[in-house]
Amino acid sequence: MTDTTVTPGSQSALRQANERRVVDVLRRDGTRTQAELARATGLSAASVSNIVRGLRAAGTVSVRDTASNGRRARAVTLLRPPGTVLAVDFTADRVAVGVGDSDGNLLAREEIGYDVAADPARSVRRAAWLAETTLQRARIDLRTVSSAVASVPGPLHPGTGEVGAISCVPRWSGFRPAEALAERLGVPVAAENDANLAALAEGRRGAGEGAENLIHLVIGEGVGAGIVLSGELFRGAGGTAGEIGHIALDPRGQVCRCGNRGCLETFVGASYLLDMLPQNSEVNRGPGGPRVTGLVAAALSGDLGCRRVIAEAGSALGQGMAIVANLFNPDRVTLGGGLAEAGDLLLEPMRRAMELGSLGSALEDLTLVSGSLGRDASLYGALWTASRVAR
């Protein structure tokens, strides 16, 4: 991951340090008047007043009129730890921004459709604009943001923060999104793979809650997995752990974008699935062209052709996940992405294929379910990660 820090000795760093002193007193002693805060911290009354004003504007403290030694005073109460965090979720065709409190709880959210895959630098500029707009609409000062995390649809090298060569946004290869976004926003930024962040979110507050060994699949244009082992995210040496879309299922199959043949992705990726539909399919006649959402909706409505396409995708996923289950022995596998909305139409053939390809002991304690956080799973994961970085 790549991050930036506030320059030591700067006015911003001094203000943050003084703010922490005030908050630490409130956390330790409970409600205190501004005069008592000044005495406890050694700060001037004017400095305390300015700090309290900023904390109140951010919703960190409440202030009420009171009396102390027969004089009017202002009592200050800590409502929640200070600081705001940002999440930026890049997908191939949209940018979403979430603003959260210091515990990672979502306070505000905005998104726009955008061709993210076309140009990483322009996408970062657009994301920075959207982040500033979201903060303004929520009446939150950018200066209160302590950290930000960007979710990226591709592997990132843990040492350099560079996007890997094989992803659904190939023009991002070699790009360092954390550095670029930090330069635009002026706050510390880290970048993480979208499936990794979704796995953390599903494990913390979604369908994977309570699982010690969790694998979360994100099925879109490609197939990625976030792997959590013994409660910790597993990235691998070069950040490519979880790229299960490139498990080879058929050496004589279609050529994958990675250059190999018959990868799992060529059986379940969005463009491959939609190509399997007949030209006169109702899904192909929909506005804006064929989409996975249309495929799933038609299948749920009883379209036999669409059901067949989804069932075959489920069988292929099960073959791939049988290998993964034997390797990692997870206690839960969760599915996210548009195709996961098909529910049991996808899960049942997937279960049957896993039963045929996995060790019985690998499936004995395994639960297979759809994720519960939907398309914002990566955004929630980014907010939570940013809140941990800020502490």
What's the per-residue H, E or C state across 1-18? CCCCCCCCCCHHHHHHHH
Answer for the pair 382, 96: CB distance below 8 angstroms, yes or no: no
Q: How confident is the model at residue 70 (pLDDT cuts 50, 70, 90)?
A: confident
**Residue 17, token pair as written in the block:** 């340090």
β-sheet bridge partners, residue 65: 74
**Residue 100, token pair as written in the block:** 């959260």
pLDDT digits over 226-266, tens only? 999 999 999 999 999 999 999 999 999 999 988 999 999 99
- The pLDDT assigned to 144 comes to 79
Distance CA 361, CA 365 (A): 8
Question: Using alpha carbons only, how large is the chain's radius of gyration in Å?
Answer: 24
pLDDT digits over 41-69, tens only? 999 999 999 999 988 887 778 999 988 88
Tell me whether the CATH fold assigned to 84-198+378-390 matches the one assigned to 211-372. Answer: yes
**For residue 154, pLDDT beyond 50:** yes
Which among 78, 85, 86, 36 has a CA at the least distance from the CA of 60? 78
β-sheet bridge partners, residue 376: none
The side-by-side arrangement of strands in the sheet containing 71-78 is 32-33, 71-78, 61-68
- The pLDDT assigned to 160 comes to 93
For domain 211-372, give the fold: Nucleotidyltransferase; domain 5 (3.30.420)
Pairing type for strands 367-370 and 106-113 reads: unpaired
pTM: predicted TM-score of the whole model, two decimal places: 0.79
Domains of the chain by residue range: 11-78, 84-198+378-390, 211-372
Q: How confident is the model at residue 4 (pLDDT cuts 50, 70, 90)?
A: very low
Distance CA 104, CA 114 (A): 25
DSSP class per residue in 76-94: EEE-S-S-EEEEEEEETTE
Which among 155, 151, 150 has a CA at the least distance from the CA of 168? 155
Q: How confident is the model at residue 6 (pLDDT cuts 50, 70, 90)?
A: very low
Helices assigned H by DSSP within 78-138: 120-137
- The pLDDT assigned to 3 comes to 40
**Residue 184, token pair as written in the block:** 């635009």
**For residue 161, pLDDT beyond 80:** yes
For domain 11-78, give the fold: Arc Repressor Mutant, subunit A (1.10.10)
**For residue 119, pLDDT beyond 50:** yes
CA torsion through residues 169, 175, 178, 180, sign: negative
- The pLDDT assigned to 376 comes to 94
Taking the alpha carbons at both ends of the chain, their separation in whole angstroms is 17
Q: How confident is the model at residue 1 (pLDDT cuts 50, 70, 90)?
A: very low
Q: Residue 35: how many CB atoms within 10 A of its CB?
A: 15
For domain 84-198+378-390, give the fold: Nucleotidyltransferase; domain 5 (3.30.420)
**For residue 82, pLDDT beyond 80:** no
Rounded to the nearest 10 degrees, the angle between the axes of helix 292-300 and helix 304-328 is 110
**Residue 88, token pair as written in the block:** 């930026």
